Amino acid sequence: MAVDQIILDALAPKGVLRAGINMANFLLVSGACSDGSPDGLSPDLARRIAAELGVACELICYDGPGQLADAVANDIWDIGNIAVEPARAKTIDFTVPYAQIDANFLVRTDAPFDDNASVDSSGVSIAVYGRSAYDLWLSENLASAEIVRCDSIDASHEMFRQGKTDVLASLKPKLREEISRTSGMRIIDPPFTGIHQAVGVKKGHPAVVDYLNALIVHLIEDGFIARSMASHNVEHSLSIPAN
């Protein structure tokens, strides 16, 4: 795809594409390259965007999505690979999504919850990774249950495992791992939300978003996203949204 100089100057003003990467998402950052840099679908996409622009790619790593989103105004990254959320849209413009991850509730087998609606009850506590996309969704949509926020996804699982909350909200692939290790638990289906993964840019550059939208649609249609998922063995845990 030909790149207009205006787009290039906006996306890589320092001559390199600085891509914010959420290291907490184990499905999108699933390993490391030989030089120690992050590997996975998210880094693959960042590097491909840089290649399309004809510039080098610098990965800026963050421990979680909240920290990545907070840095939008600090001129640290040019694109941020992060989940789409209305709360973040106040400062970040998002592209069309390139991947979706289901988020579900995990409960104990004998718990009195039959569906997602029954979880949102007074006196029910839910462990969740604080400032994750699904935490933001729960904060917007739950009316009665208590959200107990943890510093990491693993900490939220451990809190539930120790019996400190009634429910665990997490990514479905992670919940499947939990069930494979621990008996007496069940996942409530369907997912309470689907987390759309996209590329974010600082607000105010609609032409940049248009360019990235067209590129992402192209990368979906030509199979780049699917091939990346398969190469990192996450194709059964991620889906490609229809755009």
Q: Tell me: the pLDDT tens digits for 146-184?
A: 999 999 999 999 999 999 999 999 999 999 999 999 899
- For range 48-65, the mean pLDDT: 97
In this prediction, residue 2 carries a pLDDT of 67
Domains (range + CATH), the chain = 5-99+195-231 (3.40.190.10), 101-193 (3.40.190.10)
Q: Decide: 81 and 22 in contact? Cβ < 8 Å.
A: yes
- Whether 197 shows a pLDDT value over 90: the answer reads yes
Tens digit of each residue's pLDDT (9 = 90 or more) over 67-87: 999 999 999 999 999 999 888
pLDDT in the model for residue 125: 98
- Token look-up 């996409």 returns 45
Residue 242 pLDDT > 90: no
Closest by CA position to 167, among listed 185, 151, 183: 185
pTM above 0.75, yes or no: yes
The fraction of the chain above a pLDDT of 90, given in percent, is 93
pLDDT exceeds cutoff 90 at 1: no
Strand, helix or coil at 106? Answer: strand
Q: Scanning the structure block, which residue is given the tokens 């990514």?
A: 171
